[in-house]
Amino acid sequence: MTKNTPEKIVSLSKIKMACQSCSLYQLCLPLGLHGEDLERLEDIIKRSHPLKKGATPFHQGDKFEAIYAIRSGSVKTYTIADDGSEQITGFHLPGELVGLDAISEDNHPCTAKALETTSYCEIPFHQLEDLSGELPSLRHQLLKIMSKEITHDANLLMLLGKKTADERLASLLLSLSSRLSNRGFSATEFNLSMSRNDIANYLGLAVETVSRLFTRFQDQGLVKVDGKFVQILKNDDLKAMISECVQSDPKMA
């Protein structure tokens, strides 16, 4: 792929994105668009070379030019504070959009890094914004995706603010499981593309704690873990973990 630039033997018309034929259509930006409208969106979308593991499509502070839709692979986003400490703000799977947080300041508040070989579509934002003026369903879908991100973050806040280490890991595993299954992958077994360190960082825990949790979850028969390969054995028990837990404070709000 990198050696003999085979793009040259592919007809130009094929290089153009075909969202219609993309398995992620219903999860991604073009949802709700058809016919000519969809073609207009496809016209502004650029497919780029796949990212190798560790590659960074954009860095914190970079001028905001485009948002990125993941086609395959996975990406983490993280911010680095003044003191150099890092906080991972998300793990992103195929069909998800990355970079929307850059609109506000017109530069990226976080860095994105491929956790494995990752292909993606690049959508120049100003063109998208203009086009969204003309296409109500594109406009709505964009707002919807952003709104979803806000909700997702709020859930994560709940996770970090209130939950125990067990519940945090259970939440992450269940989130990955359900998102992967929405994308046509197995809900019960998958490879974690991120390191234990990344998981710990994201969940606000120490690596050692994450490691111990995996061991314990396995001892409890909840999961089977072999390095990055995870099998969910008792989905319901994991779910129960994250809802039963926090004994409610009956008088509040």
Partner DNA sequence: CTCATTTATTGATTTAGATCAATACAATTA
Partner DNA sequence: TAATTGTATTGATCTAAATCAATAAATGAG
Which x/- pattern over 71-110 shows residues binding its own copies (rule: CB under 8 A)?
A: -----x-xxxxxxxxxxxx----------xxxxxx---xx
CA 73 to chain centre: 10
Q: Residues 185, 204, 224, 225: which binds its own copies (CB under 8 A)?
A: 204
Residues 45-74 that bind its own copies (CB under 8 A): none
Tell me the angle at which helices 165-182 and 136-162 cross, rounded to the nearest 10 degrees. 160
Please give the sequence-ordered ranges of beta strands (E in DSSP) within the chain, or none if there are none.
Answer: 46-47, 66-72, 75-80, 86-92, 97-98, 111-114, 119-124, 189-191, 223-226, 229-232
Residue 226, φ and ψ in degrees, nearest 5: -135, 95
Residues that bind its own copies (rule: CB under 8 A) add up to a total of 65
Q: Does 210 bind DNA (CB under 7 A)?
A: yes
**Residues 206, 220, 231, 240: which binds DNA (CB under 7 A)?**
206
Interface mask (CB under 8 A) for its own copies, residues 119-158, using x and -?
A: ----------xx-xxx-x--xx-xxxxxxxxxx-xxxxxx
> Measured between alpha carbons, how far is 223 from 234 in angstroms, rounded to an integer?
7
- Single out the segment in contact with DNA by CB under 7 A; choices: 104-112, 150-158, 211-219, 232-240: 211-219
State which residue, 15 or 150, has the beta carbon closest to its own copies.
Answer: 150
The binder of 225, among DNA, its own copies, none, by C-beta within 5 to 8 A per type, is DNA
Pairing state of beta strands 229-232 and 189-191? antiparallel
| Residues 176-195 interacting with DNA (rule: CB under 7 A) | 195
Residue 172: both structure tokens together: 């992450």
CB-wise, 236 or 249, nearer to its own copies? 249
CA distance 110 to 197: 18
Count of residues that bind DNA according to CB under 7 A: 22
Inter-residue contact 182 to 25 (CB < 8 Å): no
Residues found near DNA in the complex (CB under 7 A): 53, 164-166, 195-197, 204-212, 214-215, 225, 227-228, 251
